[in-house]
Amino acid sequence: MRFRICFTFLFLLASHYLLAQKINDSYRLNIKRASSEIIIDGVLDEKAWMEADVATDFFMITPMDTSFSQVKTEVRMAYDEENLYVLAVNHHAVEGDYIVQSLRRDFSFGQNDNFIFFMDPFDDQTNGFSFGANAAGAQWDGIMSNGNQMDLSWDNKWTSKVTNYEDKWIFEASIPFKSIRYKKGIDEWGINFSRLDLKTTEKSGWAPVPRQFPSSTLAYTGILAWDNPPPNAGTNVSIIPYVLGGATTDFESETGTQYKREIGLDAKIGLTSSLNLDLTVNPDFSQVEVDRQVTNLDRFELFFPERRQFFLENGDLFANFGYETIRPFFSRRIGLNVPIQFGARVSGKINKDWRIGAMTMQTADVEEDALPSQNFTVMSLQRQVGARSNIGAIFVNKQSLRYNPDAVDEGMPVYSEFNRNAGLEYNLASSNNLWTGKAMVLQSFAPDNTGNGFVHAANLKYASGNLTWEWRHEYVSESYTAEVGFVPRRGYYKINPSGSYLFFPKSEKILSHGPTVSSTFFWNTEGVKTDNATILAYNIRWRSQSRFMLWTAYDFVKLQRPFDPTNLGGETLPIGSEHEWFAWGTEYTSKPQSVFTYAFSTRMGGYFAGGKRYNVTADLGYRFQPYVAIAMAANYNQIELPEPWNTTSFWLVGPRIDVTMTNTLFLTTFIQYNEQIDNINLNARFQWRFKPASDLFLVYTDNYLPEPFGVKNRSLVLKFTYWWNV
């Protein structure tokens, strides 16, 4: 306990001494009210643009961060009573066609010529919005949290146009003030503009950003200076209804075809310019893109990110509390195999220092599973302290309505009456982003104290241009429970020191290279060592943006519960058995400029029970830009073990075809063959964005048995959504 208190004190002390004036406050772009109407056509011909101030003379971020960019970019901004306007002229530095994957929305940043800008409308260097496009006109939008984290699943109403010329391409956009949140009366926003030009492999920014950080890092934004505070968004109410029809057939249970006819709606109500109320009634998420399957040889549950729109805006207030394996709240637990009836959420900024989030969701009864209606409530409060740090609190409650204590299955309760979590955390982020970290505590509460437990964790990270190091420790008690969270492992102590160093040689081909070392130790609550994973790697990055890594690792595991090393549901290794092995492997990613791209990884060495494991993965891609992108992902595992397992091998193969006829008309077909779970999944999704944020979806899904080949289940859904501003 003394160690924990000292570590937390060091966090607070570090925050006190790491305060500083905003780094790039000398980079200022004045924004004026538009003196003429602006038509979004990707043409620089309006009077308002001729009179607007210009942001130019971008700084190179990569491959080096010590000079001006060789690729010229010019940016102008303006506004009127309803919209914020942006125009970027992206000049070519090298002759040749632009490089893009497709017209697919929210493209991969590193594989497209693009222009993206990052806004901090609260001027807190922590939260913001991002908009942009690639050189073919595919849109990008995301919501930002924790200084540079980007959630591209967020989607909102705005328009843009890209026009290509022989020597440049122009991006022009109109963003309604109703589509973003900002502090009322503020006349200075944080702003930065990012340009990636793959022909020169150069990434640049208007306000300089050190190369060890993403160009989106809000600690390094310049200032957008308004001639008057941004106009009030006025009545800000959006109604988003949907109508859905579909059919599902389960061939395995032979229950026939079930037809689905539903209506529902979401509503967004701006309580203030920075505080929003979201409502949903009978939501449906059938159009959400399917998760990419992975081979699971882990002893613990896997994590898949949230993609449903309702949970995303200001989602960091709820979902970012804790660490990736210690989350007291994980929204994908809500509506898991049960329908959501309705929900409400208030989230956003109260003032410069305070943010709040409160959400309640109600699910329906499920008679066949003997599950009652359940209520999920989560409340979060966050206060900024120092330059960019904050203190947060969270409370999570899952409550079963009409609780029946006699509902049991094989002697165990089917569900609990309630589960609650309360926690505090301190997030450290220095003004220059060199120091980051977190310290947190959590307490769970359950009926009869059976699930009452405690969590403490903390980390401290330093990242300079060459040197990065981090310390992290965790404690999760055996009785800690988070039924609405993601905590795959309980009853342990953990420490994880890590470090890396990069060399930047004066080479025409190699950009950087250097070693990375990380060691993770686990002990159970009785002090017995249960795990150790130590990895030593060497990384090389070429100026062409291709990458290579060679690694070797040592693993030790003392099993705390039975485990099948093939994860196929067969024989298990006993509790208390000890296993250790060495392994090595490689990873390579090709340069993104080619129309044919590829990546691979290899792994060979020891495994549980004195066995061997061999693994090869490959990702291949070919594009007929900008309309068609074809990809193939393959993963092969061969596990050699003593009897009764012997030799086991299985494939995971996933071809994917993206057809983007325009930047509003998409067809995605995704096939996944997973030999480990004996399933073939086919998912095809057609999307027509006939107006900004308004869509028609047609989604077809099949699941097959590989042998003998036959259909397990099949569904077809047609969904229409319309975004209506009241």
How does pLDDT run across 160-174, given as a tens digit for each residue?
999 999 999 999 999
Task: Look at residue 567 and give its three-state secondary structure.
Answer: coil
Average of per-residue pLDDT across 534-552: 97
* Residue 440 counted as domain residue: no
Alpha-carbon gap, residue 647 to 287, rounded angstroms: 40
User: Hey, what are 664's tokens?
Assistant: 């509003």
- Check if the beta carbon of residue 361 is closer than 8 Å to that of residue 379: no
pLDDT in tens, 386-433: 888 999 999 999 999 877 776 665 555 667 889 999 999 999 999 899
What is the number of structural domains in the chain?
2
Q: What is the extent of the structural domain holding 195?
A: 20-226
The pLDDT value given to residue 252: 85
Query: Given 226, 253, 271, which residue is the final one in a domain?
Result: 226
Alpha carbons 104 and 664: distance in angstroms, whole number: 9
Bigger pLDDT: 352 or 587?
A: 587
Look at residue 159 and tell me if it is in a domain: yes
pLDDT confidence band for 370 (50 / 70 / 90):
low
pLDDT, the chain, mean: 92
Can you tell me the mean pLDDT for 317-323? 94
Domain for residue 125, yes or no?
Answer: yes
233 contacts 270 by C-beta, under 8 angstroms: yes
- C-alpha gyration radius of the chain: 26
Residue 20 pLDDT > 50:
no
> DSSP strand E in 308-350: where?
340-349
Task: Select the more confidently predicted residue: 153 or 605.
Answer: 605
In a domain, 434, yes or no: no
Closest alpha carbon to 454 in 437, 435, 470, 440 = 440
The answer on pLDDT for 3 being more than 70 is: no
Per the domain annotation, does 74 fall within a domain?
yes
φ, ψ of residue 4 to 5 degrees: the values are -65, -45
Indicate which CATH number applies to the domain containing 99: 2.60.40.1190
Average pLDDT over residues 274-283: 94
What HEC string does 189-216 produce? EEEEEEEEECCCCEEEECCCCCCCCCCC
User: DSSP letter at 684?
Assistant: E
pTM for this model (two decimals): 0.89
Question: For position 13, what pLDDT does the model report?
Answer: 47
Percent of the chain scored above 70 by pLDDT? Answer: 95
User: Which two tokens mark 537?
Assistant: 């790697």
Residue at which a domain ends, from 226, 242, 265:
226
Q: How many CB atoms lie within 10 A of CB 422?
A: 16
d(CA 303, CA 412): 26
Q: Is residue 627 part of a domain?
A: yes
Average pLDDT of span 297-320: 88
- pLDDT tens, 647-678? 999 999 999 999 999 999 999 999 999 999 99
Start-to-end C-alpha separation, the chain: 55
Q: What is the pLDDT of residues 440-479, one digit of tens each?
A: 999 999 998 888 999 999 999 999 989 999 999 999 999 9
CA–CA distance, 718 with 262 (Å, rounded to integer): 11
Residue 137, Cβ neighbours under 10 Å: how many? 21
Whether the link from the prior residue into 644 is cis, omega within 30° of 0, is yes
> What pLDDT is stored for residue 21 in this prediction?
61
- Give the Å distances, CA to CA, from 680 to 252, 295, 353, 413, 704: 15, 14, 50, 34, 5
Domain limit, last residue, from 226, 249, 275: 226
Residue at 427 is within a domain: no
Report which of 196, 260, 191 is spatially closest to residue 226, judged by C-alpha positions: 191
Checking 508-511 for CB contacts under 8 A at 24+ apart, the result is 508/543, 509/542, 509/543, 509/544, 510/540, 510/541, 510/542, 510/543, 511/62, 511/63, 511/541, 511/542, 511/543
The answer as to whether 356 is a domain residue is no
539-549 average pLDDT score: 96
Higher pLDDT, 406 or 194: 194
